[in-house]
């Protein structure tokens, strides 16, 4: 149940933001889109493939090939583990748990097929940027002691931003509801303060570059009111 708490917080946040737009008829404009989905992050290197949730708002107007959206992604706390050695080549193993990650992303897409008439299937390409608003390490244990300096250290907190791109497809269930399937690659840039003090130690980041796959339900306003 605790994994759904971040989702509820995100929903409340988005409701609060959307209320500010409502006075300007935000919800009534043709082409507005609203999404609720899930995403798998193939982080690898001992981090596994955590599954997160997302909620987004955007615009996709009929007859236009370009569309855009912004979203909040939430990755519930997940486990990680990795091994390294110290300067004497003695082994070190670490196990830990990451904090819940909150990510803000902006996406720009392009329909590969003409968007003037309704289609059952609409393939598209997408690119965008993201920034990790909150995350880091919750806890970590070391199962084997060492006496020298490790060649790899956990980055407990770091600035993280990235660019991403991929391919997707909209399966239109009716004129307003669609199933959105997407996959791509996220090239992430991480900076940790310890890197500037000692660049001989390789940092172990919680949110590195990775492949992702997502599925979402999208609702689209089809006409002006």
CB 208 within 8 A of CB 46: no
Average pLDDT taken over every residue of the chain: 82
| Contact call for residues 43 and 82 (beta carbons, < 8 A) | no
Residue 64 has which token pair? 């236009």
**Is the C-alpha dihedral spanning 167, 171, 176, 182 positive or negative?**
negative
pLDDT score of 30 more than 70: no
Contact of 164 with 186, CB cutoff 8 Å = yes
| pLDDT at 27 > cutoff 90 | no
Judge contact between 72 and 86, C-beta under 8 A: no
Q: At 24, is the pLDDT very low, low, confident or very high (cuts 50, 70, 90)?
A: very low
Looking at residues 41-69, what average pLDDT do you find? 91
> How far, in Å, are 4, 6, 39, 76, 196 from residue 1 at the CA level?
6, 10, 18, 11, 40
Please provide the CATH number assigned to the domain covering 2-220. 2.40.160.20
**Distance (Å, rounded) from C-alpha 152 to C-alpha 45?**
13
pLDDT higher at 184 or 175:
184
Q: Which pLDDT score, from 0 to 100, does residue 167 have?
A: 96
Average pLDDT over residues 180-201: 80
Q: Choose among 84, 69, 58: nearest CA to 140.
A: 84
In this prediction, residue 8 has a pLDDT band, given cuts at 50, 70 and 90, of: very low
Query: Does 23 score more than 50 pLDDT?
Result: no
Residue 136: which pLDDT band, with cuts at 50, 70 and 90? Answer: confident
Strand pairing partners for 150?
86
Above 60 in pLDDT, residue 13? no
**Residue 225: predicted pLDDT:** 45
Sign of CA dihedral 123, 181, 70, 105: negative
Q: Which one is predicted more confidently, 90 or 224?
A: 90
> Residue 28 has what DSSP assignment?
G
pTM for the model: 0.79
pLDDT exceeds cutoff 90 at 29: no
pLDDT tens, position by position, 79-134: 999 988 887 788 888 899 999 999 999 999 999 988 777 788 999 999 999 999 99
Please, where are the H alpha helices in the chain?
A: 5-22, 193-197
């Amino acid at each position: 149940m605790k994994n759904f708490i971040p989702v509820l917080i995100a929903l409340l946040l988005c409701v609060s933001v959307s209320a500010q737009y409502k006075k300007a008829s935000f919800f009534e404009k043709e082409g507005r889109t609203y999404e609720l989905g899930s995403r798998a992050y193939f982080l690898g290197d001992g981090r596994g493939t955590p599954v997160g949730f997302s909620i987004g708002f955007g615009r996709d107007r009929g007859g236009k090939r370009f569309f855009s959206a912004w979203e909040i992604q939430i990755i519930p706390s997940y486990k990680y583990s990795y091994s390294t050695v110290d300067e004497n080549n003695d082994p070190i193993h670490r196990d830990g748990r990451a904090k819940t990650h909150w990510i803000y992303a902006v996406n720009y897409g392009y329909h590969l097929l003409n968007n003037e008439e309704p289609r059952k299937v609409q393939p598209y390409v997408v690119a965008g940027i993201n920034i990790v608003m909150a995350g880091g390490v919750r806890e970590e244990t070391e199962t084997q002691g060492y006496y020298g300096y490790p060649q790899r250290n956990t980055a407990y907190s770091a600035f993280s931003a990235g660019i991403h791109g991929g391919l997707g497809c909209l399966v239109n269930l009716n004129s307003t509801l669609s199933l959105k399937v997407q996959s791509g690659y996220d090239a992430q840039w991480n900076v940790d303060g310890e890197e500037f003090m000692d660049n001989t130690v390789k940092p172990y980041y919680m949110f590195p570059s990775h492949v992702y796959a997502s599925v979402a339900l999208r609702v689209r306003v089809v006409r002006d009111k």
